[in-house]
């Protein structure tokens, strides 16, 4: 079921790690951001879109992890975009993403995974502003829809997942600090925040999400193991235990 969280912004949550498929109304039609996860859910999303009666004109992936690179035939053969760096990473990681998708969920059209190209410099047809940073994944993007008071955060600012540092690259603590500054500035213009996984934040909860991620990264910066009730450790569908984050932080 699609829930309209702001004017022309709808969210449908998957049973898989509270993943949010996001639908944004643009000038020419709908843009699907990170649709997921399993085949029946993608099919259900297609039914929801039929009911909206507005054509899908494009897709957008916030970053090149498999759960953000999915698509379904029923969404149509339309261009799917990411940032330039994100698209390059998606192309390189495509086979691995297909394997992970096959292993993690059922009914995903594997041949459609990761077929993204760089978003044109003017951003068209994705409305709003792309906020690109290097935390969590190469070329990770948030989408700021300032006129609607909404930010789509990708895998940042979740209430269910801890910050998950990119273990393949050094400098992730600094990258998170820079990214949180960028998103914090943008958050002054929003009262609805849609994370890639977890609950939509509204009003004062938006600042609380920023505060939680900042506190986590601050602890890593001090070389301490963060105290945080969100998931990460012991979750076998993710490889982001605090300890790994801490090791990564010390590697800078
Ligand atoms: Zn994710």
DSSP 120: P
Report the separation in Å between the CA atom of 65 and the middle of ligand 1, taken as the mean of its atom positions: 7
Write the pLDDT tens digit of every residue in 82-122.
999 999 999 999 999 999 999 999 999 999 999 999 999 99
Tens-place pLDDT, residues 147-200: 999 999 999 999 999 999 988 899 999 999 999 999 999 999 999 999 999 999
User: How far does residue 13's CA lie from ligand 1's centre (Å)?
Assistant: 13
For ligand 1, the distance from its centroid to the CA atom of residue 206, given in whole angstroms, is: 19
The tens digit of pLDDT for each residue in 205-214 reads 999 999 999 9
Collect residues with CB below 5 Å from ion ligand 1.
67, 155, 196
> What is the C-alpha to C-alpha distance for residues 126 and 230, in angstroms, rounded to an integer?
31
User: Which strand (E) or helix (H) includes residue 85?
Assistant: helix 84-92
Cα 50 to middle of ligand 1, angstroms: 26
For residue 233, name the pLDDT band (cuts at 50, 70, 90). very low
Model pTM above 0.85: yes
Calculate how far, in angstroms, residue 27's C-alpha sits from the geometric centre of ligand 1: 27
Q: Which of 69, 91, 94, 93 shows the shortest CA–CA distance to 80?
A: 69
């Amino acid at each position: 079921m699609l829930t309209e969280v702001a004017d022309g912004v709808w969210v449908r949550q998957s049973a898989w790690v509270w993943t949010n498929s996001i639908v944004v109304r643009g000038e020419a039609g709908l843009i699907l951001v990170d649709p997921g996860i399993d085949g029946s859910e993608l099919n259900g999303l297609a039914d929801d879109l039929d009911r909206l009666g507005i054509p899908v004109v494009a897709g957008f992936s916030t970053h090149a992890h498999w759960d953000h690179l999915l698509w379904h035939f029923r969404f149509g053969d339309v261009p799917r975009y990411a940032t330039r760096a994100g698209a390059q990473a998606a192309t390189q990681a495509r086979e691995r993403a297909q394997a992970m998708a096959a292993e993690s969920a059922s009914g995903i059209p594997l041949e459609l995974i990761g077929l993204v190209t760089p978003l044109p410099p003017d951003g068209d047809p994705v409305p709003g502003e792309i906020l690109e940073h290097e935390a969590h994944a190469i070329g990770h993007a948030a989408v700021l829809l300032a006129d609607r008071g909404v930010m789509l955060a990708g895998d940042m600012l979740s209430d269910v997942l801890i910050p998950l540092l990119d273990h393949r690259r050094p400098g992730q603590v600094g990258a998170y600090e820079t990214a949180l500054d960028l998103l914090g500035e943008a958050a002054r213009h929003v009262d609805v925040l849609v994370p890639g996984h977890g609950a939509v934040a509204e009003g004062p909860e938006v600042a609380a999400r920023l505060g939680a991620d900042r506190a986590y990264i601050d602890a890593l910066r001090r070389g301490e193991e963060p105290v945080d009730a969100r998931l990460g450790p012991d979750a076998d569908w993710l490889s982001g235990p605090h300890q790994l984050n801490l090791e990564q932080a010390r590697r800078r």
